[in-house]
Amino acid sequence: MKVAWLLGMVAAFCLLLLALGYHGKIKKRLALLGSCFGIILGSGLLLLAVLPGDSFYGPVLAAGHTNQKVVALTFDDGPYSPYTEKILAILKKKNVHATFFVVGENALAHPELVRQIKADGHLIGTHTQHHKDLLRLDKQEVRDEMVMGVESIREITGEKPRFIRPPHGFKDYEVIEQAESLGLTVVNWDIIPRDWTNPGTETIVSRVIENVKPGSVILLHDGDSPVNKGSREQTVQALPEIIDRLRVEGYSFVTVEELQTK
Ligand SMILES: [Zn+2]
């Protein structure tokens, strides 16, 4: 079931109570209290859909359950030249394996970069075909976005991805149910340095280092939406320092698939 339907039912319940109260069928105070409860319930349901680490609607891997000092670096929204190439070069130099959640249409536009990601030993997950907000789509559209995203990767690499990051990390019953039916594990994050806002290289580094813990999934971006086409140079600049400082603190790097088994 979609969170939008749940919100619609809650709104209808509130309106019904208010109408009954207005016409004197129930006490006005009861109608107002019930409506307030409905508003709180609706806000809570929406919050649970957009909070990346919450598993209310179904299983979401937002961090590994481990005491081992391992972290998963994840890169979203690519492939996106020249930043994907620059990030791959850094990861190769530092001997780090990461996870790339690629957007299907970007993958089809740059299949050579997807092949390079795979050849370098990184894990590839889908970030859907067009990076649409899945909470706003109907059941068939959600499935189409996922199936197309999976098929775009399979066409290029010969392998179907087993992990999905929904755009913006938004998920509800419908999203998780569809993902599971396609054999996809939903992966979000627990560390979000907001690199896409270009807050400065040092800020990106410190937001990671100050919040990291064993099993963390770190969200970074090698790509951007085709509309914004922002620079990812700050992410490129921050990455070597993030890797070096995490290593100094005793962390090693795994893909989300490896993290799942820790
Ligand atoms: Zn994204």
**Ligand 1 centre and the CA of 77: distance in Å?**
5
pLDDT of the residue at 233: 97
**Ligand 1 centre and the CA of 124: distance in Å?**
14
> What is the identity of the amino acid at 212?
V
**Ligand 1 centre and the CA of 225: distance in Å?**
8
pLDDT of the residue at 135: 94
Same domain as 169, residue 91: yes
Same domain as 133, residue 251: yes
pLDDT of the residue at 72: 98
| DSSP assignment of 149-173 | HHHHHHHHHSS---EE--GGG---H
Exposed/middle/buried for residue 246 (C-beta within 10 Å: 0-12, 13-18, 19+) = buried
> Residues whose CB is under 5 A from ligand 1 (ion)?
76-77
| Residue ranges making up the domain that contains 16 | 3-50
Q: Is residue 59 part of a domain?
A: no
Number of folded domains that form the chain:
2
Same domain as 140, residue 242: yes
Same domain as 77, residue 20: no
**Ligand 1 centre and the CA of 31: distance in Å?**
41
Report yes or no on whether pTM surpasses 0.95: no
Tokens of 163: 């992990």
Lookup result for tokens 């536009």 = 109
Q: Is residue 55 part of a domain?
A: no
> What's 227's domain CATH number?
3.20.20.370
**Ligand 1 centre and the CA of 65: distance in Å?**
24
Q: Is the bond preceding 79 in cis, omega lying within 30 degrees of 0?
A: yes
**Ligand 1 centre and the CA of 148: distance in Å?**
16
Tokens of 57: 């609607």
Please indicate whether residue 65 is annotated as part of the active site. Answer: no
Same domain as 34, residue 150: no
Question: 237 near 220, Cβ under 8 Å?
Answer: no
| DSSP assignment of 69-100 | -EEEEEEES---TTHHHHHHHHHHHHT---EE
Q: Is residue 202 part of a domain?
A: yes
Tokens of 137: 């789509």
pLDDT of the residue at 1: 67
**Ligand 1 centre and the CA of 8: distance in Å?**
27
Same domain as 117, residue 29: no
| pLDDT, one tens digit for every residue, the chain (262 residues) | 688 888 888 888 888 988 888 888 888 888 889 888 888 898 888 888 899 988 899 999 999 999 999 999 999 999 999 999 999 999 999 999 999 999 999 999 999 999 999 999 999 999 999 999 999 999 999 999 999 999 999 999 999 999 999 999 999 999 999 999 999 999 999 999 999 999 999 999 999 999 999 999 999 999 987 677 899 999 999 999 999 999 999 999 999 999 998 7
Same domain as 191, residue 85: yes
Same domain as 83, residue 28: no
| DSSP assignment of 202-244 | HHHHHHHHTT--TTBEEEEES---TTT----HHHHHHHHHHHH
Task: Return the SS3 of 68.
Answer: coil
Same domain as 120, residue 8: no
Q: Is residue 31 part of a domain?
A: yes
Please indicate whether residue 222 is annotated as part of the active site. Answer: no
Question: 158 near 31, Cβ under 8 Å?
Answer: no
Q: Is residue 23 part of a domain?
A: yes
Spatial CA neighbour of 123 closest among 114, 135, 132, 110: 114
Single out the catalytic residue among 110, 122, 127, 221: 221
